[in-house]
Amino acid sequence: MRPAEMAVIHAACFTTPPPWSEAEIAQTLDSAFAFAVSEPSGFLIGRVVAGEAELITLAVDPVARRQGIGARLVAQFLTEAARRGAESAFLEVAADNLPAQRLYAAKGFEHKGKRRDYYRTPNGARVDALVLARAL
């Protein structure tokens, strides 16, 4: 999937954190450590550095949700991260994003911490980020 297509899906999914532009996605993917996995209606960007994988962002087109796309993308991320030498994986998720939290829990991620007031909504409110992690 090209960065332009990713940006359209990301914009349909996010207000908090703000959606990424095509340029931001392309710049992230230019890193030697970053990689993407995708399906026609969704994508995930991750990276592996020093044995640790980070799930940076996951976006599934709202009209295609609840079809297993997110679960497949997370599974592909975990496989690719392990292939790249990661021994563990982590991510941050908005404390009010319960569907994403359920998805990550189903994939073995556990609550490890909280980043208070990490995200800012469009109206200026603050939302905590939960730090989730799992071994690979």
Which positions are annotated as active-site residues?
Answer: 92, 104
Non-local (6+) Cβ contacts of 73 within 8 A are 37, 38, 39, 42, 43, 44, 58, 60
Residue the block writes with tokens 């940076």: 56
